[in-house]
Amino acid sequence: MTQSTKSATDAAGGYVTDIPYLFRYHRELNPAIHALMITGEGRTPAFRPHGALTYLELGCGFGLSTLVHAAGNPAGRYIGVDFIPQHIATAKGLAAAAGVTNVEFIELSFADLAHHPLPDCDVIAAQGVWSWVDAANRDLIIRFVEKKLRSGGVFYVSYNALPALAPIIPAREIMWSAFRNAAGPTSVKIDAALARVREVMAANSTYLTDNPRASQMLERALQSSPNYLAHEYFNATWDAFYHADVANSLRPAGMSYLASAHILSNMDRANLTPDTEQLLAKIADRTERETLRDYFLVPEFRRDIFVRNLAPAVNMDATLFAMKFAGLANPTDVDSIAGITLLGEIKPPRAIAEAILRALMRGPASADDLANASECRGIGRAELYDVLVVLTAMGAAEPAAPEATLTARKAIADRLNPVLWNYAIHGDTISVNLSPVTGGGIAVPQVDQVFLLARYRGEDPVAFLQRTFGANVEGDLAAGYTHFLGYRLPLLQRLGIA
Ligand SMILES: C[S@@+](CC[C@H](N)C(=O)[O-])C[C@H]1O[C@@H](n2cnc3c(N)ncnc32)[C@H](O)[C@@H]1O
């Protein structure tokens, strides 16, 4: 190894830097989701999710989540840092093209965080970072959070979780050892690793037969893009942690676990049998309880919200019942709204969910508002609030941003979304648009984005789709567009996207 290669690798801590990641949007990074969880857990958030907060994402990749959330909250200051130049250049380009001026993307390694002037933060987020960087970099992250996170602020951190990942660790080792022993750039070494996986699978490895989840992981790896694989499996570090490992490492910085940002994971009734609930209820220590809970939920990936100097819980019902939510689904979709847990498919109570979604067609509403809506007559506020949260957990509702500032958000969404639609037609994996109604990202399928772009450009959407994708488009395009007009477009218009 030459001296210059060695120092580049050392600076990266074994992280791959010669191949970019993908565009990914994560609603779990949205401060509005953090504020919902903080309030739901009986505390007053120390920041206003649609106010003058300061937000920083460590290892932001192409920065899509940070960009969308900045655009959705023009009063906030948003910063994304990452050490891969292509990530930062692309993120800056997107922000500039859309005229989003309250976001900064900074090319910076975690080692240099301490030497760069950065503000105190209300939210610091690290998505897809903790398990993939070495212990020295995790320590740098903790030091940064300790120095820069305000009291009451959120540290969001996601990571590979134990015990669920335990049987899968040796499967990654098959890929990693072949990768490590191959020569050349990352893409060539990945090919060598995948070739080894095919050989091992064809030879009927006893380990893989005994561990079907490990086989499934390798099957999925064989179908994945090199960009995903490089960042998921081929960094020198690929660690999994018990919740207690992470909670204990953050405790000296004054951090306490609040809840998962993956809302469905918090719902005991949806995830645990009554016997398990009773067993866990006996455990007084929160860290021990949350760690043991993972032996029943077995999440492979945790998305934890930690709060600095967490205050004792109080009754927040009045605030919760006044929180407004937007509907993300048509009332006629009600039968397809579901969440999957180990207990099976969980559905919201049908009649109440349908009544709520019908009322939300007029615009965002709180449980207090809904209690007075004709569709929801006779349903109590607490029940309405519970179902609103269940719908939110299942992606059919979302906290709404304040109506008073809608016009400013709409102007920015009208600039950002066409930029995102343009990426969508080039096959990039941007599958999200900004809703000025929620101030967050909403999943919009690629074909709908192509229709929206054609309408925006004043072109015939069917001809445009045909021209853009040629022989790759199947089915009756005119019928597809008619369905879009009657069914998807009104919803996108209610969300301010179209
Ligand atoms: C798996 S990607 C996740 C990207 C983004 N958070 C997302 O969820 O889409 C991890 C990111 O962390 C960045 N990263 C890893 N180690 C880093 C370091 N030491 N300093 C700065 N960025 C780093 C990588 O460049 C990569 O973009």
Binding-site residues, ligand 1, Cβ < 6 A: 13, 15, 21, 24, 26, 59-61, 82-84, 87, 109-110, 127-129, 132-133, 137, 231
Of the pLDDT bands very low, low, confident and very high (cuts 50, 70, 90), residue 8 is very low
Domain spans, the chain: 3-163+240-308, 166-233, 325-399, 405-494
Q: By alpha-carbon position, which residue is closest to atom 4 of ligand 1? A: 61
Rounded-to-integer distance, Cα 128 and Cα 156, Å: 11
pLDDT for 10: 52
Of the pLDDT bands very low, low, confident and very high (cuts 50, 70, 90), residue 2 is very low
Q: Does the pLDDT value for residue 400 go beyond 70? A: yes
pLDDT for 425: 83
- CB atoms closer than 10 angstroms to residue 448: 22
Percent of the chain with pLDDT over 90: 92
- How far is ligand 1, taken at its centre, from the CA of residue 256, in Å? 24
- How far is ligand 1, taken at its centre, from the CA of residue 32, in Å? 23
Beta-ladder partners of 106: 81
Sequence letter at residue 70: A
pLDDT for 9: 44
- How far is ligand 1, taken at its centre, from the CA of residue 199, in Å? 31
Q: By alpha-carbon position, which residue is closest to atom 14 of ligand 1? A: 59
Rounded-to-integer distance, Cα 327 and Cα 175, Å: 43
Torsion angles phi and psi, residue 151, rounded to 5: -60, 135
Residue written as tokens 């940002």?
261
- The mean pLDDT of 241-252, rounded to a whole number, is 98
- CB atoms closer than 10 angstroms to residue 120: 12
Q: Does the pLDDT value for residue 11 go beyond 70? A: no
Instruction: Work out the burial of residue 455: count CB atoms within 10 Å of its CB; fewer than 13 is exposed, 13-18 middle, 19 or more buried.
Output: middle
Residue written as tokens 């023009």?
74
pLDDT for 424: 85
* DSSP single-letter state for residue 188: H
- The mean pLDDT of 399-414, rounded to a whole number, is 98
- 432, 23 Cβ separation under 8 angstroms: no
Residue written as tokens 């979302």?
398
Query: Average per-residue pLDDT in the chain?
Result: 95
Rounded-to-integer distance, Cα 326 and Cα 448, Å: 20
- CB atoms closer than 10 angstroms to residue 141: 22
> Does the bond joining 331 to the residue before it have cis omega, within 30 degrees of 0?
no
The token pair at 86 is: 């292509």
Rounded-to-integer distance, Cα 150 and Cα 153, Å: 5
Dump the DSSP string for 301-333. Answer: EEEEEEEETPPPP---HHHHHH--EEE-S-GGG
Rounded-to-integer distance, Cα 170 and Cα 168, Å: 6
Q: Does the pLDDT value for residue 477 go beyond 90? A: no
The region, left, alpha or beta by phi > 0 then psi within -120 to 50, assigned to residue 254 is left
- The mean pLDDT of 440-444, rounded to a whole number, is 97
* pLDDT digit string, tens, across residues 37-82: 999 999 999 999 999 999 999 999 999 999 999 999 999 999 999 9
CATH code at 3-163+240-308? 3.40.50.150
**Which atom of ligand 1 lies nearest, measured to the CA of 20?**
27
Rounded-to-integer distance, Cα 148 and Cα 125, Å: 12
The token pair at 112 is: 């240099």
- 360, 325 Cβ separation under 8 angstroms: yes
Rounded-to-integer distance, Cα 172 and Cα 211, Å: 13
- How far is ligand 1, taken at its centre, from the CA of residue 474, in Å? 37
Residues in the chain: 498
Rounded-to-integer distance, Cα 82 and Cα 159, Å: 18
To test the pocket of ligand 1, the residue of 21, 22, 25 to mutate (highest count of ligand atoms within 8 Å of its CB) is 21
